[in-house]
Structure 1
Amino acid sequence: MTGGAPESGVDAVEMAALLAPFDPVAPEATVRYGDHPAHLVDLHGPGDPAVVVLHGGFWREAFDRSHLTPFARALAARGVAVAVPEFRRVGGGGGWPATGRDVRAALEALPGERPVVLVGHSAGGQLALVAADHPRVGEVFGVAAVSDLARAVELDLGRGATTAYLEGAEGGLDAALEAADPFRRPSPPVPVTLVHGAEDGQVPAELSRRFAERHGAGLALLPGVGHYAPMVPALAAGTWLLDRLARAAAAGCEPRCPAGRAERAD
């Protein structure tokens, strides 16, 4: 999800696939973790969640968790119980640090005790990386993640979205960057794999390369893939990611691939 929808190219095609109409399927349960209307977690599949997926949308109120329903259902069909949290977003009471606190509260509210694989797409990747030190998290996948907020500000990703997300924090933008920027924070204490389309025109793969080099994370660079395809079950990159997450969930915590390694989705 972006600040401005792509008008052409691979990202436009992938975004249309991500947002294509789908038959609504209610989750097995929805749990509340706070008083705000956004404080909800959808639970897909039987049993306690093994994978938690955080949606993108550049932290903006206009984009919610609903577009991840097909992805969550496809993962549940592989026998993996999935949780999809909602959280406050910019324009709806969110922004840093409130949005980050919501993610941690959602993790606290999850049923069960097993470590989960935490997945974040785009802006959700930033949220996943900064929540990597939560006790419920056993592994993190950042998919097209906004993993370097200072660089995102420089590039004006999402047409000012990163600045809008951070500027309301106490101490202003610089203080927020120190706390919220995964690139600047200490390396996560759990295995991290970054998955990025080489043709991503919304969040450049440069961000994942920089993070992987600095923090020793795994990097799966997908040739010919843009920003949205890994979250679309019907596309090859989506199938690849679903299979990878199912293996990670079954293993409990899959080892990282070597930093800088490029993997193909086909």
Structure 2
Amino acid sequence: MTSREISAFAAEEERRVLSLKPVLAPAHGRYGDHPHQVYDSWPAEDPGAPLVLLLHGGYWRYDRMHLTPFASWLAKQGFSVLLPGFRRSGGAGGYPETFDDIARIVDTLPAGRPYVLAGHCSGGHLALWCAARALLPTDSPWHTTSLPTAVLALAPLTDLDATRRDRLSDDAALQLLGGPALFEERMPYVDPLTLLKGQGRTGVRTVLLHGAVDEEVPLSQFADYAAVDDDLDTVVLPGIGHYTLIEPDAPGAIAVADVMRRLAAEAAGVAEAAQASESESESESAKVAAVAVAEPQRP
């Protein structure tokens, strides 16, 4: 972030969580040829465990290693977890490569399973963007109507214009979109708040969760997004900051896992209902076809 003062509480929280030792995943995979197009996998013991696709934060610049302790902890809570890397700002990513990778991740890695797409900080921005892809112009390469089953945005950056205005993390939003000359042109395609204005809903079950004493992402971003999303559920955790949402065994992380569990159960119920409806429709079609075959042909 920019050189602004934060409390001793926030500084200690950040130091404690970001100094956790990375956890090696039991399985790994690739979704592309670039070295950053990889993912870590923590399969749950139960093959029917709910799937969580986790997008890391770091203002679109940093890698996923700081989130591996949380991903490993979630697996112990009964989730199957996928933690992908992607091309990032300041290197091979930014606009459009970061968004190309995120679109490919959500379009391929779940492999047809219902899942909760969760993201922290800038990862929350990317998760909310994925939920809004159906609102993009139909000629956009990122437009799709195949959306995440559910989204959980943890202390997300929801408003790129405000992120630029507040100069968060040394102008991270400007770097993401290629600098001041390109920012206004590109922002409408990748900003969740802009995409929602005038639409009011994405059609994706979404929960936005924020710590009440977060000093990293201004609470105004949380409130401004909630004001335009008609279907959004919001959760504010008293006494919780930015980083303890992803700190294993911390009260914030436990609350996050509880919400994930609820969203996963809802997603499974929706998937089962859709499958039952499809089976019923196929059965009715088969009956109609059988009757048609059985009817004698009239001369």
- Give the TM-score normalised by structure 2: 0.77
Task: Name the residue aligned to 2:150.
Answer: 139
Aligned to 1:176: 186
Query: 1:11 touches 1:226 (CA, 8 Å); kept in 2?
Result: yes
8 Å CA contact 1:45, 1:79 repeated in 2: no
- Taking a change above 3 Å as real, the CA distance of residues 83 and 247 of structure 1, as seen in their structure-2 partners, is same
Could you tell me which residue of structure 2 aligns to residue 51 of structure 1? Answer: 52
Q: Distance in 2 between matches of 1:190 and 1:253?
A: 14
Alignment of 1:152-163 (within 5 A): 152-163=163-174
8 A contact 2:158–2:192 mirrored in 1:
yes
Q: Does 1:249 align with 2:250?
A: no
Aligned equivalent of 2:234, options 219, 224, 240: 219
Deviates more, 1:75-84 or 1:3-12: 3-12
Identity within the alignment, %: 36
Which structure 2 residues correspond to residues 16-95 of structure 1 after superposition, within 5 A?
A: 16-22=15-21, 25-46=23-44, 47=47, 50-60=51-61, 63-95=62-94
Is contact 2:39-2:82 (8 Å) kept? yes
Query: Does structure 2 conserve the Cα–Cα contact (< 8 Å) formed by 1:89 and 1:99?
Result: yes
Tell me how far apart the structure 2 counterparts of residues 4 and 140 of structure 1 sit (CA, whole Å): 32
Question: Which residue matches 1:259?
Answer: none
Question: Which structure has the larger Rg?
Answer: 2
Alpha-carbon separation, structure 2, partners of 1:173 and 1:138: 30
Secondary structure at the counterpart of residue 125 of structure 1 = helix
Aligned residue in 2 for 1:228: 243
Structure 2: which 5+ residue stretches go unaligned?
134-143, 271-299
Task: Find the aligned partners of 2:171 and 2:128 in 1 and give their Cα distance.
Answer: 21
Describe the shift of the 1:110–1:74 C-alpha distance in structure 2 as closer, same or farther (beyond 3 A).
same
In 2, Cα distance between the equivalents of 1:156 and 1:150?
10
Q: Count how many residue pairs are aligned between Structure 1 and Structure 2.
A: 250
| TM-score relative to the length of structure 1 | 0.86
- Matched residues in 1 for 2:4 and 2:43: separation? 31
Contact 2:20-2:66 within 8 A present in 1 as well = no
**Ranges in structure 1 where 5+ consecutive residues have no aligned partner:** 256-266
Give, as a single letter, the amino acid of the residue that structure 2 aligns with 1:129: L
SS of the aligned residue for 1:131 comes to: helix
How many Å apart are 1:69 and its aligned residue? 1.2
Q: Equivalent residue for 1:165?
A: 176
Distance (whole Å) between structure 1 residues aligned to residue 251 and residue 64 of structure 2: 22
**In terms of mean alpha carbon deviation, does 138-147 or 46-55 score higher?**
46-55
Structure 1 CA distance for aligned equivalents of residues 3 and 92 of structure 2: 21
The amino acid of 2:257's aligned partner reads: L
Moved more, 5-14 or 123-132: 5-14
CA deviation vs aligned residue, 1:237-258 (integer Å, no higher than 9, x gap):
1111122212322332699xxx
Deviation of 1:202 after TM superposition, in Å, equals 1.3
Query: CA, structure 1 residues 231+6, in 2 after alignment: closer, same or farther (shift >3 Å)?
Result: farther
1:112 aligned counterpart, secondary structure: coil
Question: Which amino acid is the alignment partner of residue 149 of structure 1?
Answer: L
> In the alignment, which residue of structure 1 is the partner of 2:281?
none
Residue 214 of structure 1, CA deviation: 0.7
How far is the alpha carbon of 1:194 from its aligned partner? 0.8
Q: Distance in 1 between matches of 2:157 and 2:267?
A: 25
Matched-pair contact (CA < 8 Å) for 1:10–1:199: no
Alpha-carbon distance in structure 1 between the residues aligned to 2:220 and 2:6: 22
Q: Which amino acid aligns with 2:29?
A: V
* Cα RMSD after superposing both structures: 2.4
Separation in 2, partners of 1:70, 1:6: 28
